[in-house]
Structure 1
Amino acid sequence: MIRLLDLVFSLLGLVCGSPVLLVIYLVGLSDTGSPLFRQERVGRNQKPFILVKFRTMSLDTASVASHLASTASITKLGGFLRRTKLDELPQLWNVLKGEMSLVGPRPGLFNQTELTQARDAKGVFAVRPGITGLAQISDIDMSTPELLAETDAKMIRDMSLKNYLVYIIKTVTGSGSGDRVKG
């Protein structure tokens, strides 16, 4: 049932949101010249996939977790996109392709070995990664790998249609702070 909702919501989001996606893309061209950001991430069963987002940092920013990046790397458009979580919209394509779910553990980077090990020990990689989840609406980010893995495992254990919808609604209405970047 959740996969069907993922398909319906992601397709609707891409179709209905296409004017917003186009505007952000065009503004992003003048912001960085390269509005889409693609990065290899750890997916279900630890298989790699390419995550797509709107670029929020300058082109020369190192490929590290957001909490390790500097705020100086965030562009003006990027700050707005992060605050509003609009930078995540292109991931609806990842959901439509089956690489992600709307709700699930946020996909980490392969160089985040502590997080990968903690998640592996808790069976988190048995599910598709998600755009949002319990950790995101609870302001838990990748800077606390053990807590994040525990929260992800709890979310997976307690997943239901009701929780799936609650996490989406809370994300859309502003719960959580998105990816944190150090000052």
Structure 2
Amino acid sequence: MLLKRYFDHIVSFFGILVLWPVLLVVAILIRVKMPGGPVIFKQKRVGKDGRLFTMYKFRSMTVGHGGSSVSVAGESRITPLGAVLRKYKLDELPELWNVLKGDMSFVGPRPDVPGYVNCLTGEDREILKLKPGITGPASLKYRNEEELLAQMEEPQKYNDEVIFPDKVRINLNYLHHWSFWLDVKIIFCTLVGKDLES
């Protein structure tokens, strides 16, 4: 996966250079529209080989909400500006810094909070061989995850019993069938909003 590492470092570096005006505008909007809290949301996530790292995102929620780790569309803790940032994935732009640092890759499983990794057993733990990604095959399938969860009577239960196991299955398949061109296809599908299978 040497080519993958070179791609991550080079593209994230130039991505930050090209997108810095967008990053600046979003940061200013958060400061103005969501005062009283940080612009950047920082949280410990589980990375390659189970090592913890700090993931960076633009803040999209109220401060001190104390809510679940599972986000549902329409929640009161998600601010109006935050909802727009999340819809267009702009809240994830600071993760380019995580990719540049080597904590993350452009493509891979989304990084989970420590509690979910503890649920992995047997072969499922092989997905920890991968760096977490900004996007990935499971992210494409569940691009509307928050809207899907909003339709469920028990969103947390549905996530834990249906979505999380399915994501593990998809990410294992990605691990076993990885190629650089698969990564390129996943990034392209992410940018244009297409399904991987189409």
**Alpha-carbon distance in 1 for matches of 2:123, 2:99:** 22
Q: Which amino acid aligns with 1:7?
A: H
| 1-structure distance, mates of 2:122, 2:44 | 17
**Alignment of 1:139 onto 2:169:** no
Aligned match for 1:48, one of 44, 49, 52: 52
* RMSD (Å), alpha carbons: 2.2
Q: Over alpha carbons, which structure has the higher Rg?
A: 2
Match of 1:179 in 2: none
Shift, 1:61, TM fit: 2.2
Give the superposition deviation at 1:145. Answer: 1.8
Decide whether aligned partners of structure 1 residues 137 and 73 sit closer, same or farther in structure 2, where only a CA change above 3 A counts: same
Is the deviation greater in 29-38 or in 13-22? 29-38
In structure 1, what is the equivalent of residue 126 of structure 2?
123
Partner of 2:152: none
CA deviations over 1:124-153 (Å, ceiling 9, x no partner): 001111010000111175922211111111
Distance 1:13 1:119, change over 3 A: farther
How many correspondences in the alignment?
Answer: 175
- Compare 104-113 and 61-70 and name the one that shifted more: 61-70
Separation (CA, whole Å) in 2 of partners of 1:37 and 1:28: 11
Specify the alignment match of 1:158 in structure 2: 177
Does the residue aligned with 2:106 lie in a helix, a strand or coil?
A: strand
Matched residues, percent identical? Answer: 32
Structure 1 residues 66-97: Cα deviation after superposition (integer angstroms, max 9, x where no partner): 33686111111111111111111000000000
- C-alpha displacement at 1:122, in angstroms? 4.1
Closer, same or farther: CA 173–166 of 1 in aligned 2, 3 Å: same
In structure 1, runs of 5+ residues without a counterpart are: 177-183
Counterpart of 1:7 in structure 2 is 9
Q: 1 CA distance for matches of 2:123 and 2:65?
A: 28
Structure 2: gaps spanning 5 or more residues: 146-155
Q: Quick one: which of 186, 189, 192 aligns to 1:167?
A: 186
Secondary structure of 1:40's aligned partner = strand
Instruction: State the alpha-carbon separation in 1 of the partners of residues 122 and 194 from structure 2.
Output: 23
Provide the TM-score with structure 1 as the length reference: 0.87
> In structure 2, what is the Cα distance between the partners aligned to 1:42 and 1:119?
18
Q: Deviations over 1:34-67 (max 9, x none)?
A: 2210000011111100000011111122263233
Match of 1:71 among 72, 75, 80: 75
1:99 equivalent among 100, 103, 115: 103
Conserved 8 A contact 1:119-1:149: no
Instruction: Assess if the C-alpha contact under 8 Å between 2:48 and 2:132 holds in 1.
Output: yes
